[in-house]
Structure formats: C-alpha cells, structure tokens
Structure 1
Amino acid sequence: MDARNPQTEPLRVTRLVARGGEPLVFDLAAGDRCRIVDPEGRQAGLLLVSSQDALGAALPALAEDADGRAAASAALAARGADPSLFRGFRVLSEDGAPGAAVDFEVAGDVACALLPDGSDMAPDEQTPPTELTVEIESSGPARGVAPAPLAAPKLDLRVKAATAEAYRVKAGDYIQIIDVDGRQCSDFLAFDAAALEKGEEFGLDPTVTRTLMATANPGPGLHSKYFDARLKPLVEIVRDTVGRHDAFLLACNSKYYEDLGYPGHDNCTDNFNRTLAPYGVKPKAGWPAINFFYNTTVGADDSITMDEPWSRPGDYVLLRALTDLVCASSSCADDVDPANGWSPTDIHVRVYDASESFSRGIAHRMTPDSEPRLTRESGFHPRTSALTRKFVEYRGFWLADCYSDEGPIAEYWACREKAAIMDLSALRKFEVIGPDAEALMQLATTRDMKKLAVGQVVYTAMCYPHGGMIDDGTVFRLAPQNFRWVCGEDYCGVHLRDLAAEHGLKAWVKTSTDQLHNVAVQGPKSREILASIVETPPHQPAMNELKWFRFTVGKISGVPVVISRTGYTGELGFEVWCHPSKATEVWDAIWQAGKPHGLKPLGLKALDMVRIEAGLAFAGYEFCDQTDPFEAGIGFAVPKAKTDPYIGAEALARRREHPSKKLVGLDVSGAEDIGHSDCVHVGRAQIGVVTSATRSPILGKTIALARLDVAYGELGTRVEIGKLDGQQKRISATVVAFPHYDPTKSRVRTEVEPAPAG
C-alpha cells in the first residue's frame, strides 16, 4: 500500500511564494514532493539545491548564472549555509504558459533557494519579474507546525489546546501570537508588571480602548493601542495577518458552558485564573479579554452572533509592549460551537527583543486562496513619511491620509489653485502582452480597444457577465499588441488570465504593481512644473504637446519615466510612473521644481474632496459587483456600438434600455455631516442611498453623489437624506447635475495656447 495514501496518512501541504526578483529559501525532507508553479507565465527561475543526489535526474543541470547565483547565495548565507556547496538548476522558461509547473520528489533532506529571474523594469517596458509559487507535499499530520520565527525569539512558548499560559514581557519587546492550525481563538490579557508588584491590578480595558481609539478593534497604524483603566497604553498592534478579531466580549467562562448544558467544561477564564495566580492576579468569574482570531458580528438589531474564525494556519498578531508586562494567552477551550472551528488546537507565542525591527502591516490577499502579503511602503514613502505620520492602510499600501503642516483643506486649495503631488502607487498595474492581447482587452472591457492608438489612454469598465462591475481603470496602449491595465483591484489580473485560458487566447497578463510606482501631479500649475524638468526624445510628445488621455516617455533627472495626462481631481494634471527604486529621485525633482509654484503634498482626505466635486467614481462607493456602469455614473464608458462582443455586453444592453437606478448629484441643505450609505427618502419610502459626500470648499456647500430610483432622478427633484434611523431626522437635498465642479471639464482639457506667429 502507498505509504502516502491520504486515507491512511494525510499529506501536509505547504505553499510558499517567491516574489519576482527576490530569493526564497526553504527546506525539503526525504520523500517530499515539490511543485514549482509559474502562475502568470513567462517567468523562469533559478533553483539552488544543497544536494544534487537528492534530486537525482529530476532536473537538468544549469549553466552558471553569476547574477542570479549572487542574489540567491546571499539569502543562503544569511541562513548559515555555504552557497559554494549548492548546485543550480534552471526551472520553467521565459515563454512558458500561465500555470506552467515543474514537479519533483526528493530522496533526501535538501536545502533550496528559488529565485525568479528578472531585473528592474523600466516604466516603458513590460518585463516585470513575477512570482513563482512552491507547493510542498509532506507525509505526516498537517497539524501543529508553527511557522518559522520572525527573528531569534527570547521566548518560544506553546499553549496547548484548551489551556492558558502566563509570561513576562519587557517594555519594547514584541509579542507574536500565532494560530498554528487556523480557526482558533486566543484570548489575551496584559497587566502593568510594576503595578502588580505594588499590589495594584491594571490590565487591558477593552471599553477604554474602544472609546479612545474610536474603533472596535485597533489595527496597525495610527490607531493601534490597547489601554488600561488609567487610560495608559500597554500594548500596540504592529502586524495583523487576519484583520478580524473581537474586543468587546469576555473570555469564555464556566457560566457560558453551564447555560449550554456543559457544567465543568474547560474554559479560558478558569485557565487564566490558574496561570495568573503566581503573579498575584485576583481570580475573576469572567475575564474581559482581547479575543484574537474570534469572529463575532454585531447585527443591525444589536444582537451579537459568531461564526468560524477567519484565521488560517500560521496567521498571527504581532504586538509591542509599551511597558513591562505580565501577559497571559489562551487556546480557547470552546468545542461546542463554531468559535474554534469545532475543534480547539494549539496557540504559539513568541517574544522578540526590543532591538528587532518589524515593519507595520495588515495582511492583504489578492484572492481568498492567495498567500497573505503585509502592507508595504511605496518607493515614495521615504519622502511622504518625512512630511506626516498620518498614514492609513489602503489596498495593501501605506498612504498618507493628510499631511502634518496644514492639513487637508490647504492641500485641497493647492490642487484647485496651484499644484499638488500625491502618491498613488497602490494602483494595481498589469502588463497585457502577446499576439492576442488586443483580443483579450476587447473581450474584458467595455471600451473598443481597436480604436485605441499607440500612446493613448482610455478610461473603461470591466464587468461580470451579469453587468455588475469588477473594477474601473485605464488602459494604456504601448504598442500594437502591448497594453497596460491600471486599476484598483488585484482580482483583475486573475480575471484576465482566466478569460485568456477560457477563450484560447495567446496573451500573458503580468503583474507589474511592484515595478511601477506613481505620483499624480495635479492642478493649474502642473504642466508648467513638469515641463521644466521632463526631457522627452524627439519622437515622443513634449509636456506642452501632451493631449488629454495620452502618455509620453522621457526622463526626470536622468530617471526613465512614463508621464500620462490623467488624474482623479478634475483639474489639469498628470501622473508620473517610474521604478520604485528611483522614486525618491523623481519626487525630489518634482518637489524642487514645484516649490516656486506653491506645490503641496496631497493626502487621501483632500483627494476625496476633489474627486467628489469632479463626480469621479470610487470602488465600493459608486460601484460594486451589484451595480453596473450606468448606475455608477460612468455610462459614457459603455459605447452603444462596439465592434466585438465583450463580457457583460448583453446584460449591459438590457440594463441600458431598462434602468432601475441612476447616479445623481445632490445639493444638500445646511452643513451637517453626510456620509456614504446614508439613506435617501421621499416621504416614508427609501428611494436611494448616498454613495459619497463632502463639504465643498470652493462651492461653499455640502454636496453628494447618490444612487436613486430612476423615478426620482430628474433635476430639481426634492429628496431628504435620513439620519438616525432614517425617519427621525431628515436633511433636505435637491437632485442636480454632476460633476458639481467644472461640469464641462474645461479645466482638465486645458491646452497650451499656441505661440503667436512671427
């Protein structure tokens, strides 16, 4: 019988990711099966192994690759391995299809380093190094294996299922709480150690924390701290790979199980009482705790419900102690409901020294089965972070919410009257190449790609078959069969690759987000600023020649850039695209050139004001997969006559002829705060919802975008915005045209006056 038969011995499957141009080091044990996959295609790799005999003839020998070996060797050396003892193998190919894979089984223990080939991509190229995935099948149980430490741990503590452990942590040290097998709640307590020694008990207080942080569960970033009853912060969140926890319930206790008919059941409260007794902590009947990985929801009727945790094997929360602490962590004992996926498992705790340095981050997943990726900093972050500490997590990147010197109103006026610069690197970029690239983009988007000229940009929608939107974005045509899709949603890349496979199209969709970062330079002075520093070759448009929705290729201070006349503000503006390694040089050149013109940095708060005034759609607000482009106010991106069929075409034709909802502008009476999802009424009936709203500085009034029933979409219709329960308080508003600001788009279309003859 096969010793690896899953009916007798389940396989442990480990999935790792080698990011483009970055080496991944991993170990294989005798009998392991390894598969290396190229998800996007056209990505070769270098595999270094410590024992050629372990692989036998599974892979062909590789000719020496000095550059590739150097990068991978450095990673091996960091692990204490001797790179000179490793042999190299070429895996996959530079023209491979998406999903191409190589499989092999190892006969003995072997250390490996995998490096996806590729160097920095110039902004006018389409050669991004992309990820390779490693899938390792190992015999033996899949449970109980904690991920590798983030650094050398000072404490390595296993909290067995349905137990609790107490431990001391010094100020500044890091605490990593790991869900080893996934779907396992871990209650967390922390007490001021100095106060305990004096006989005073000050532990984490969820109510104080929620009040001070104005959030149910703090996350990494500006709002990251947990406080005690004295309003003193005890810990802060540094990393969170789950993003869904609970901070308003007790740890499970004997009464909970007694009420369910399970007297004497193990519970976290009793386990905490036992393990904390040696530290002088008085027992409680129920401990207020931070319930990491616990998935509870407050319903519209204020009822609290729960379901299985979102956490997966190896997920963790990383905290930092802000004073000397006595801590306790449990593995929740609950096996009578979904709280722990019906089967309690181990929790692992590691403590790292204060001298270690860990980036802040929240895990972002492209799709539910993707590997988590922590929030990253853009190439411009060294410059933006010198101007503000007010960063928010936005689609996997840290972006400035506003800047410290003057705030969003000043940033807003700079954009409207002079010029502003903003980091928009979180936009997702995909290189679509191959003989069928045009056919793929024609199939996937609402616009007619056959009408798009080389050097031109077009704004378009990408829809599902039922007409609901996946995303909006811009398409750049770099060459006859070379496109770049710029959007906000990671899933677009998966969708495009699936379409190509389904329709038999020879096209590759390569992710270039991490090879192409960008700033927007917007405002009346933007052209003047960039014209003074941008050099373009003779065959490319100069800044004064660049038309709306066109792009050019050039250099800023010797750095290769692509500059598009696009933006998200309703003003004359441009976007500057470069490799992140050169981002600070590009920022510095623009910043210096912009100083005489009053250039200021622009954060997300000010951007929201200008984009609402300009009537520009925002994902999750004006549209989602339940709204079509017409309902999102971008029906202009769906031409009536397109030469070829595309995804969603039939549904959109039907929706065009029989609309049920319409996006409109609202002028709102008074100055009360109006927000996304506020209900809109005529009489008692709700007839729509506010999608976006702001207090417009330039118009001197509150304005909104709203999706209404078509029966109430006529200009001049009087409606009311409901507050409280939608009935008790109403704010009057009038349906108006949008954009509210510059409805003819004369400012964004502004061209340079031709020089007088002679």
Structure 2
Amino acid sequence: MSELLQEQSQRQNAKIGAHYIHLQKPIEALNIRIDAQYLKVINIQQGDVIEFCLPKGQSLELLIRDLNGYFKPSLVQAMSDAGTIQITAASQTLAQLQQNRQSSLRLKQQLQQHQIDVQDLQRIVCIDGTQNIKFSCLEDGKMMVFNTGQDLCIDQHACINEITAIIHTQQALTEYLPEPLATPVQEIRIPRASAKTYRVKAGQWIQIIDVSGKQCSDFLAFDAEALAQGKEIGLDAVATRTLLGHSTPTPGLHSRFAGANMQTLVEMVQDTVGRHDMFLTACSPKFYEDSGYFGHISCTENFNQVLKCHGIAAKTAWPAINFFYNTQVEACGTISMDEPWSRPGDYVLLRAAKDLVCASSACPDDIDPSNGWIPTDIHVRIYDESEYFPRSIAYRVTPEEMPRMTKNSAFYPRIATLTSHIVDYRGYWVAAQYDGWGAKSEYLACRERVAMIDLSALRKFEVVGPDAEKFLQYALTRNVRKLAIGEIAYSAICLETGGMLDDGTIFRMGENNFRWVCGDDYTGVWLKQQAEKLNYQVSIRASSDQIHNVAVQGPHSRELLQQLIWTPEHQPSIEKLAWFHFTLGRLGGPTGFPVMVSRTGYTGELGFEVWCHPDHGTQLWDAIWQAGQPYEIAPMGFDALDMLRIEAGLIFAEHEFSPQTNPFEAGIGFTVPLKTKEENFIGKDAIQNQSPQSRHKLVGLVLEHSQAAVHGDLVYPSTGRYPVGVITSATNSPILQKQIALCRLAPQYADLGTAVEIGKLDGQQKRLTAQVVALPFYDPERIRVRS
C-alpha cells in the first residue's frame, strides 16, 4: 500500500511545475509565546538555540528533561549574560499553586498533563536579573518553561507578563504542527497536490492545519444521511451567502455554512488567519489549460477521484470553501488574489452540524501566488463531540508574534446567559445588545436609571519606577506631574508626527506608580520601546488579564454603589468620590474582596467603573445586578454605548482619531497643554508647527431628514462638488429624535449654523442636508456627569 501511495504521489508531483518539485518553504526562527501564569513545553533538538525575552525585573523557571524524562540541566548551556542562574526550588510556581485560585487550578491541570509533580518543582533552573538570555541545546530533550507567579491585587503593580521564546535551529524547519487542542480521534495527513475524504459525526470538531504556511486547502462537505438515500446535499455558495449576509470574504469567523436546503452543515468556531475565499471554485483543468499548463493536476480532479467511492458525481470545477486562499474584492468589483496570510501552524476549527462526508485538499497550484508558489502538505485533526473549544478569532499585536485568540472576560459567564448578540471587540467577546432589552432600551436605562456594561476589553498597563512620572510626562500629552495620588486624567498619546496612537486615562496610584488604561495592546509595546530608547528607569507591564472592569452608569449609579462598596477611612467614600478620581475598597464590607472604583465612564452620564481581579468577576456582576433591581437596572451592550458616546461627543479610535489625526483635529485639544506644560513630549513639535487656523475641526451635525449618515460618508458644501469633510461616527439620537453625526470638517465650513450636505452613493447622485452644531449634543455643560 505504501509503495502504491508513493507511486501515486510521484505521478501527481510530475504534473506540478517541475522546477518547484524540490523546493521547500523554510521557516525562520519560531516565536513561541508563554502566557502569564502558564506552563509551556518546548521540544528541543541538539544544536538548537533558544532565546528568551523577559520583561524587566521578571524571573524565569525551567525544568529541563532528557528524552527519558530525567531532570538534566546540563542538556543546555547559557550563551549570553545570564544574570543569576541557580538550581533551586520553583518559588514562583509554588507560590501560584498555593493560592488556591483559578490560576493555580489551571496550572495544576497543566502539571498533570505533562506528568510533573510537586517534588519535581523542588529542583529547577531559575534565571533572574536579565531581560535576554540564550541557551544552546547540547542534546535532544524537553524544556518546561514556567512563566508563573501570584495573582495581582487591584492595588498592586508587580504582575507577571507574557514572555517570548525564539527557537533558532541549525536544520531548516519546513513545517510546524502545533500541539493538538485535545486528544484527536483521527489524524489525517494530506500530501501536497492531493486530496482525501473522511467521515465525521455530528458534533465532532474538524481542525484543518496549514503546517508550512501559505498553503491553500479546499474543503467540501456532504450530508452523509442524504448520501445514503441517494441525495447529494453539499455546501452551497448561494445559500450560505444569503444566510450569512456576506458576499465576499472578510477577516474573522464566517460562522455557519449551509447546504442547498438552507440547513447548516458545518460551523466555523476558531480561525487563526482571518483571510479565506468563500466559494470560488477549486482549481480545475480549465484553469491550468487556460494558463498554458496542460495536464497539470488540479484540486477538482483530485476531488473527483476520492469522491467517486461515495457515489458523488464528478464536476468540471468544484465550488469549495478555499481555506487560507487570499482573495479580495476591489471597489470596482474585480476579484484579486495574493499569497496567503497563513503561517506555519495556522488553522481553522469547524464543528459538524450533521454526520458528514468531508473532503480536503492540499492545493497543487504552483503557477501563481495562491500557495506562495510552492505547494506543501495540509494536516487534519478530528476531535470527539464531547470536547469543548471556545469560539475565537486570532489577532496579532505585532506582525512577528504567534496569533492571539479572542478571550472571555470575567463577566462573560453572566453576559452569555442574557444575550445571543455577541461580537468580537479588540480580542474580547462583548455583548452588542441584550435579548429582551435592545439597544434603545439599554440606552434609555442609562439616561434615565442605571445600566452596567462590561469594559474589560480596555487594556491596562502598570507603569512604575523612579522615572515613572518623568517618562509619562514625555510619553503622554497631558501634564502628568500635576496629578495627585488618587486622581485620574484623560490623555492622548501621540507619535512624533503629532498623529494619535491612542487615548486613555492615567491613574496616579502612588508617587512612582501609575496605571495607564487605553484601547490598544500595541500601546504597551510602543511605551516600552520609548522607555528603552531613552533609558528611563521604569517598568511597564500589561495587567489586562489581571484587572477586569464593569461600568455602572446612570443617574442612580452612585446610590446603587454606595450600598455595595466599603471604603476604609483613608480612602474617599463613593458618596464623596470626585469626578476623575478613584478609591480603593472592598465589596460588601471590610472582609470582602478588593475593588477599585473610579468616577469615569464613556456615556456622558453620572457614572463609575468598578475594577477587580477576574476571579471575582461573577461575584461583582451578581452583586451589582441584585442591588440594581429596585432601580430597574439594565445590562448594556456596545450598540447602546455607541449611541451614548456620540451624543456626548466622545471620540473613538479609527473613527475620530488615527495616526493621521492630531488631538486638536480629533476634538480633544484640551489634552495638549502647549502653553502650560513646559517639558517636551512626543509629538509636541509637530503639533506646534501646524497652524491652528489650518486644522480640520471635529463638529456635530444634525441631519434635516430621517435618513442616516454612516462612518466614512463625505461631507460637501451646499451645492458644492468637492468634499470638505468626512463623517467619523453617526447615530439616531433618541433624546433629540434626529439623526446626528460627528464630522471632521475643514475650518472654513466649521462655524455653527453652517449648512452642509452629506454625500451618498458617489456623493453626487444623492445628498443629505445637515447643519453644523456645537458638541456635545447632550448635556453641553456636562452638568450630569459632574453631578
């Protein structure tokens, strides 16, 4: 059998462009992320070099074993300044295990999985006092990397951060097969330029892995029960596009794929690539013949061969889901393609809705960029229906890192019971709106009573050290030096061009301790780069996974939280907490769990945010929800939040600001004290060099009719042909009972009362009339939020 398969593979390879047969895609150094409070096992080979990049001041613990499972630290040798290396007990790991918290339970499960007991942790390799260290591997073995430590308390700052391991190998890697997500029930290897069929049961999981990167895999699925009855019901492009509301590929999950009978066959659950083609045809003989490559093997021919035994008729060209195939549709409607975005180890995870006969290919196309010019293998794993895998979409903070998957916040278990309208927001699952409420009802609850919303997707960074104030004075536009302990300021962060990288709030926790809360993970990377560039003595660590927060907003928010939050004598009570200040207390009394409460929000209403460790998330949600019942509290999703913040004239990333927009153009010039802040800050020169009279301005527009404007619509002078502005955000205002919009407008047209027109279609065929008004639309004196 093996000889037959080898002969078949040789015949297939002969039909691929001969000049590519012996080429492979070498994988450069492999970056592996070890998440905070987790264990990672790395298989090492003789000659490998492993480099660790550690956060400033963070230690590392390694358990090094030979292939027989014995502790053998001599298996590796330090190549660089290693700080302090000693054989000792794994103090950080043991401290995490002794907490008896969720992080310790999770770590115990990992230890059991890799057959590590507590006795093994009494002698490990501990590295301290360095940020970068390299090891050369003298023998084959396993390296268990412990990135462990205690949970962060809300009033502390020394949190454990993720670390990166970079594996350099002397032998060129040509593939990376990631560890199974669970125990597979089938492992199916699809050699390049071939296809295979496999059966899956309803509820089973199908993981399709690109082991070498830039390799497309066409996927077909048929209802097995229908096939047994002589009916062919396979994936159908028209039915799927109709049900999904997507005609072209978009990044992220595409959810359910249906047959011609409009019933779901498979559902997408995880996706580490976010770029595929949906239902163009698999490559066919005609495609190669039209390109001048006669007799070239095709996915369609391969499918016809392997589907024959299932009684499925051959096709001239098979319509398929083309996983990892990088296509896009231009504005003019033209379909274009380029090399796939997939990297070695990237995958999609599907779940079968019915018993299925599936077929997957490893595409043989080597005449264009669709497989990076070099066809390679595809690997398929099937997992039992009893397994559970969370829905997630991958994203990357930096281009070179491993993908990060969408997370659940500490409040997600409660949110998921209240709504089916869940969306991805910057790497977290959040509620768009809630079943039985809806965006308008949630909005009204916030304006009239009280509402609560999960804002854990905000990124948090602990900035501490002797130069913390000096560094933040340089990195932020706001005058950080003026902040008192317990005070908060809203600030922009700018690039040297003056364009905004991010906005956020800075909390002064102590003389040399700050907490920066913003929208983008990359801001933390950028802050570290700036600190290192100028050698500031400061530590910057991400605490987003250790601090989650729920906002409680509305006229009754203060009296609700007064019932719940106990504060010690040296901290302000909820009743006395001033706007843009915070207090530290406990839920329910002096023996409750610790929380931080800030007088902040994103709604334009009186409101607070309550911050806690994720372990206490559900308790906090339940306490607020129960205490809020007399006030008719409502859960609030991001759709209602968008209505509220637009009415309040509050800005949003990639709408009102971007790296091409400075704070004055984004409508937050008050965060840039050019006259009163003596010290230099990043972007100051560029902003000062811009003439204030030339800046576009963020203004409000009230539309005269009920038709809506949308983000990106161009704004024109009345009867004018050429645009003078752009809509950044828009909504229907329940308070004003009118369509409103935020608009970045040329200064010549930004005077209050100016009539403008919003272009629809091509901007000429249809116009919506509007008038420039002052911001904010709601509560212009901000009396309610300050009350």
TM-superposed CA distance for 1:12, in Å, is 6.3
Q: Determine the structure 2 residue equivalent to 1:76.
A: 111
> Which one-letter code corresponds to 1:169 in the other structure?
V
Contact 2:87 2:126 in 1 (8 A): no
> Is the Cα contact below 8 Å between 2:459 and 2:520 reproduced in 1?
yes
Equivalent positions of 1:161-560 (< 5 A) are 161-215=192-246, 216-217=248-249, 224-557=255-588, 558-560=592-594
Compute the displacement of 1:15 (Å): 2.5
Give 1:26 shift: 2.6
**CA contact 2:89–2:122 (8 Å) conserved in 1:** no
Match of 1:55 in 2: 75
The answer to whether the 8 Å contact 2:443/2:636 transfers is yes
CA distance in 2, matches of 1:437, 1:110: 42
Structure 1 distance, partners of 2:585, 2:97, is: 33
* Residues 626/121 of structure 1: CA separation in 2 closer, same or farther (3 Å cut): same
Q: Structure 2: which amino acid aligns with 1:34?
A: I
Distance in 1, matches of 2:605 and 2:269, equals 38
Cα gap change, 1:57 to 1:168, in 2 (>3 Å)? closer
Q: CA deviation at 1:439?
A: 1.5
Alignment of 1:148 onto 2:179: yes
Q: Given the alignment, which residue of 30, 51, 54 partners 1:35?
A: 51
* Distance in 2 between residues matched to 1:184 and 1:347, nearest whole Å: 8
TM-score, normalising length: structure 1: 0.94
Q: Give 3-state SS (helix, strand or coil) of 1:549's partner.
A: coil
Q: What is the alpha-carbon distance in structure 1 between the residues aligned to residue 225 and residue 483 of structure 2?
A: 69
Supply the AA of the counterpart residue of 2:656.
E
> Deviation at 1:32?
2.8
Q: Deviations over 1:50-73 (max 9, x none)?
A: 322543675521136344578666
Show the counterpart of 2:138.
Answer: 107
TM-score for both structures, normalised by structure 2: 0.90
Structure 1: give runs of 5+ residues left out of the alignment. 1-7, 751-758
Q: Distance in 2 between matches of 1:212 and 1:138?
A: 47
Counterpart selection for 2:684 from 649, 652, 663: 649
Q: How far 1:37 moved relative to its partner?
A: 2.0
Deviations 1:360-379, CA, capped at 9 Å, x for gaps: 10012111122211111101
2:734 counterpart residue number? 697
Distance 1:606 1:10, change over 3 A: closer
Does the 8 Å contact 2:25/2:374 carry over to 1?
A: no
Change (3 A) 1:447 1:207: same
User: SS of 2:463's equivalent?
Assistant: strand
Q: Deviations over 1:685-708 (max 9, x none)?
A: 122211111111111111000112
AA at the equivalent of 2:649: G
Relative to structure 1, the CA distance from residue 64 to residue 450 in structure 2 (aligned partners, 3 Å threshold; closer, same or farther) is closer
Match of 1:672 among 707, 729, 742: 707
Structure 1 segment 735-754 matched on structure 2, within 5 A: 735-750=772-787
Residue 10 of structure 1, CA deviation: 7.3
The residue type paired with residue 88 of structure 2 is L
1:61 is matched by which residue type in structure 2?
I
Instruction: Indicate if the aligned counterparts of 1:253 and 1:285 stay in contact, CA closer than 8 A.
Output: yes
Structure 2: which amino acid aligns with 1:394? Y
Deviation at 1:251, TM superposition (A): 1.3
* Structure 2 stretches lacking a partner, 5+ long: 1-23, 66-70, 79-84, 99-103
Moved more, 666-675 or 371-380: 666-675
Aligned-residue Cα RMSD (Å) equals 2.0
My pick for the range that moved more, 61-70 or 349-358, is 61-70
Q: Is the 8 A contact 1:473 1:487 kept in 2?
A: yes
Partners of 2:250 and 2:327 lie apart in 1 by 15
Q: Deviations over 1:448-471 (max 9, x none)?
A: 111111111111111111111111
Q: Could you give the per-residue CA deviations for residues 254-293 of structure 1, whole angstroms, max 9, x where no partner exists?
A: 2222222222222211121112111111111111111111
Moved more, 601-610 or 273-282: 273-282
Q: Does the CA contact (< 8 Å) of 1:219 and 1:240 recur in 2?
A: no
Name the CA shift for 1:686/1:390 in 2 (closer, same or farther; >3 Å).
same
Query: How many angstroms apart in 2 are the aligned matches of 1:68 and 1:602?
Result: 35
**Structure 1 stretch displaced more, 377-386 or 600-609:** 377-386
Q: 1:713 aligns with which of 747, 750, 753?
A: 750
1:753 aligned partner:
none
Paired with 2:514 and 2:611, the residues of 1 have a C-alpha distance of 15
Describe the shift of the 1:390–1:88 C-alpha distance in structure 2 as closer, same or farther (beyond 3 A). Answer: farther
SS across alignment from 1:607 = helix
1:361 & 1:397 partners in 2: Cα distance?
A: 9
Aligned 8 A contact 1:25 1:75 in 2: no
Q: For residues 616-652 of structure 1, what are the alpha-carbon distances to aligned partners after superposition, in whole Å with 9 as ceiling and x for unaligned?
A: 0011111111111122111111112212111110111
Q: Deviations over 1:130-188 (max 9, x none)?
A: 11222223332311331111111111111111221111111110000111111111111
CA-CA distance at 1:220 after TM superposition: 7.0
The question of whether the paired residues in 1 share the 8 Å contact of 2:249 and 2:327 is answered with no
Task: Work out the CA distance in 1 between the residues paired with 2:238 and 2:667.
Answer: 42
For the 8 Å contact 1:49–1:86, the answer to whether it is kept is: no
Contact 1:665 1:737 in 2 (8 A): yes
Alignment pair present for 1:138 and 2:158? no
| CA gap 1:717/1:69 in 2 versus in 1, 3 angstroms | closer
SS at match of 2:376: coil
Give distance in 2, aligned partners of 1:323 and 1:214.
22
Q: Does 1:629 align with 2:647?
A: no
Contact 2:664 2:695 in 1 (8 A): no
Q: 1:44 matched to which residue of 2?
A: 59
Does residue 684 of the first structure (1) align with residue 704 of the second (2)? no
1:724 aligned partner: 761
1:587 aligns with 2:621: yes
For 2:201 and 2:686, how far apart are their aligned partners in 1? 61
Residue of structure 1 equivalent to 2:32 = 16
Q: Which amino acid aligns with 2:389?
A: F
Give the conservation status (yes or no) of the 8 Å contact 1:554–1:560. Answer: yes
Give the SS at the match of 1:263.
coil
Shift of residue 660, structure 1, vs aligned partner: 3.8
Name the amino acid aligned to 1:55.
L
Residue type of the alignment partner of 1:426: A
- Structure 1 position 198, deviation (Å): 2.0
Q: Percent identity?
A: 50
SS in 1 for 2:145: strand
When residues 742 and 670 of structure 1 are mapped into structure 2, their CA distance, relative to the original with a 3 A threshold, is same
**What is the aligned residue count?**
737
Residues 681/12 of structure 1: CA separation in 2 closer, same or farther (3 Å cut): closer
Aligned to 1:754: none
Asked if 2 retains the 8 angstrom alpha-carbon contact of 1:68 and 1:115, the reply is no
Contact kept? 1:12, 1:140, Cα under 8 Å: no
Structure 1: how far apart are the matches of 2:52 and 2:410? 29
Look up the SS of the partner of 2:776 in the other structure.
Answer: coil
CA distance in 1, matches of 2:449, 2:118: 55
The change in CA–CA distance for 1:653 and 1:306 in structure 2 (over 3 A counts) is same
- Cα deviation digits, residues 220-262 of structure 1 (max 9, x gap): 77x6100111111100011001111111421122222222222
